[in-house]
Amino acid sequence: MAYWHRPIVAPSSQHVDDEGAFATPYLGGDNVWQKLYDGGVDVVLQGHDHLYARYARYNRAGNNTDPNGIRHFIVGTGGIGNYTVTETKPGQEYTASVLGIIKLTLNPTNYSWQFINTSSTVLDSGSDSCRSADTDGDGWLDSDEAIIGTNPNLRCGTNAWPADINNDTFVDVSDIVFLTGNFGAAVPPAPARYNIAPHPLDGFVDITDIAKIAGLFGQRCTP
């Protein structure tokens, strides 16, 4: 988790987006948000706008949604007065202009939240898995499997194990052929099923994908 004051998006008319420049390129290099994305951060907490807002996971650029990205909250609800929500930003899932607090429960593979007003009423709640979670223990993060198109809750079977492209439960040359036949191709148009490495997934079928399978050559998945 990371936290700071000025949010990367501001849904009220009192502030503009990214006043803290956390999603702004700096000297031609990666900005703060990009470093957090690449580092596997799951949650970002922000304030400044006097309101509560919950957003879906955001992409590496910090400007739109991404199922493999960072979920962020604005919790500016402990000061004097509240701002009105006047804008809808990408991935804006819930907002409230009331005083309150957020309660976060952080676990090794998941987290949950509750936004509670001053009358002790839970106005918003939910849970999500961490980006580093590998529920089925097959060596691929749940978030990556969501993009690849395999089942993050199943170790073996049809479209369960990313390394087993032809679904025969075995990693061999027949799986590598799928990748070599699409070598250098972007995803899309190449199937997402062929882009299994690195992390975060790079959107290309290249040597990183072949190396991932080659490292598992001859192995069989087990339920």
The confidence score (pLDDT) of residue 44 equals: 98
**pLDDT for 40:** 84
Indicate whether 27 pLDDT > 80.
no
What is the per-residue pLDDT across 154-198, written as a single tens digit (0 to 9) for each? 999 999 999 999 999 999 999 999 999 999 999 999 999 999 999
Weakest-pLDDT range from 72-76, 127-131, 214-218:
127-131
CATH of the structural domain 2-129, one choice from 3.40.50.300, 3.40.50.720, 2.40.128.20, 3.60.21.10: 3.60.21.10
**Residue 172: what pLDDT?**
96
- Residues 78-124 have pLDDT tens digits of 988 899 999 999 999 999 999 999 999 998 788 999 999 999 999 99
pLDDT at residue number 41 = 92
pLDDT of residue 28: 67
In DSSP terms, 124 is beta-bridged to 115
d(CA 131, CA 14): 32
Q: Quick one: how far is CA 214 from the chain centroid?
A: 27
| Helix, strand, coil % over all residues of the chain, rounded to 5 | 15, 25, 60
Whether the CB-CB separation of 212 and 163 falls below 8 Å is answered with yes
The structure's pTM equals 0.67
- Domain ranges, ordered by start, for the chain: 2-129, 142-214
